[in-house]
Amino acid sequence: MHKLLIANAGIFIKTVFPTIKSLLSYYLSGLSQPLHLPSRHLIRSSYLREEIQRTQKKCGCKINTFLIKRIMNQERKLSFFLPPISPVKDANGKNVTPTTLVPHKELTLEEVWNIVTGSPRLKKLTEAAAAAYGDEKEYRRLKQSTLPYVTPCGTFSYRRSDRLLAPSGLSILDLDHLDSREEAERMRRQLFDDPFLLPELVFVSPGGHGVKAFVPYDLGRTSDVKQNAAENIYWLMEYARLRYGDCSDKDKGKGVDYSGKDLVRACFLSHDERALMRVKTPMG
């Protein structure tokens, strides 16, 4: 059954991204049943849909709902931190506000979505940060000193990787240095519709030139929680780098921000009234 699944995905991957077939094999090796792409609205690419349909017809088999049910039934909880993420200093360089290292509370992913789409205060803070986007120093200062943030990988008692309380089954994917707000909004939809990622939440970054996606993975793949999270983050980054580009060198353009590899990596919240969240629905 695993071979059938890899064949389904492999037709698409082979023609576009030959080097990531091993990535899919890794992701699927821990599953006891094959992947199901549950409905056509999750597969916007007609080419990919047709290739999967042709493969299923050739093999005489259908893909079932196991993985999607497993992903969608997991409850996601994240630690929510108030700003600042780094010390606030006065004109003389003296620290006036220390870094926030203890979480304010835990949030579900739906509560995060509610804040992102509906908080008037976050809207004002995001607009102020976005207005300073052209000034890198001021933009960074406003973002780090005023915006709340979450730890997508799970809940922590303290903002340090060895203080993990419970994993969320989510990894954060950050695409940055896009050319415009319009491109970021298009990428928001493109990421949400990526049938290999199936992110549960996607929103535009504070500066308006990036996108953040909360991507699920299988918590039961290995017994080592931290290793499981780290390996899934790694393979997510590799897939996204090949699919969407690499912005580790800003001079070479837009793409994946590799700083998201840390288990306790923070994700700034920003106002986006059109943020996309995958709604959980009963599946038979």
The dihedrals phi and psi of 238, each to the nearest 5 degrees, come to -65, -45
Do 96 and 119 belong to one domain?
yes
Tell me if 162 is assigned to some domain: yes
- 6, 133: one domain: no
Same domain, 258 and 122: yes
Q: Are residues 57 and 17 in the same domain?
A: yes
Q: Which residues of 4-39 are buried (b: 16+ CB within 10 A; e: fewer)?
A: bbbebbbbbbeeeeeebeebbebbbeebeebbbbbe
Higher pLDDT, 241 or 245: 241
Of 30, 55, 71, the position where a domain reaches its end is 71
Q: If we measure between CA atoms, which residue out of 273, 267, 266, 268 comes closest to residue 114?
A: 273
> What is the model's pTM?
0.74
Mean pLDDT of all residues in 53-67: 48
Polymer length of the chain: 284
Whether residue 168 is found in the same domain as residue 249: yes
Helix (H, G, I), strand (E, B) or coil at 16: helix
Per-residue DSSP letter, 98: P
Residue 283 lies in a domain: no
Alpha-carbon distance of 230 to 142, in angstroms, equals 30
Burial 193-206 (b: 16+ CB within 10 A, else e): bbbbbbbbbbbbbb
Q: Say if CB 222 and CB 30 are below 8 A apart.
A: yes
Domain annotation covers residue 161: yes
Expressed as residue numbers, the domain containing 44 is 2-71
Q: Which of 71, 95, 123 is the last residue of a domain?
A: 71
**CA 250, CA 191: separation in Å to the nearest integer?**
21
Q: Are residues 11 and 87 in the same domain?
A: no
Distances (CA, A) of 104 to 80, 112, 159, 214, 263: 6, 13, 11, 20, 19
> Does some domain include residue 282?
no
Number of folded domains that form the chain? 2
Residues 90, 198 within the same domain: yes
Is the domain of 155 the same as that of 91?
yes
Are 99 and 232 part of one and the same domain? Answer: yes
pLDDT tens digit sequence for 73-88 = 567 999 999 999 999 9
Q: Domain check: are 131 and 49 in the same one?
A: no
Is 153 a domain residue? yes
pLDDT of residue 119: 98
Residue 47 located in a structural domain = yes
Is residue 49 domain-resident? Answer: yes
Q: How far apart are the first and last CA of the chain?
A: 20
CA dihedral 251, 254, 255, 257 (to 10 degrees): 60
Domain boundary pick from 20, 53, 71? 71
- Strands of the sheet containing 149-151, edge to edge, are 105-108, 77-81, 149-151, 267-268
**158 class by beta-carbon count within 10 Å (0-12 exposed, 13-18 middle, 19+ buried):** middle
Domain contains 284 = no
Which two three-digit tokens encode residue 105? 């509370």
Does 62 share its domain with 128?
A: no
Question: Do 53 and 141 fall into the same domain?
Answer: no
**Structure confidence by residue, pLDDT tens digits, 173-198:** 999 999 999 999 999 999 999 999 99
Q: What's the pLDDT tens digit per position in 134-178? A: 999 999 999 999 999 999 999 999 999 999 999 999 999 999 999
Which neighbouring-strand residues pair with 215? 171
pLDDT tens string 254-277: 788 877 678 999 999 999 999 999
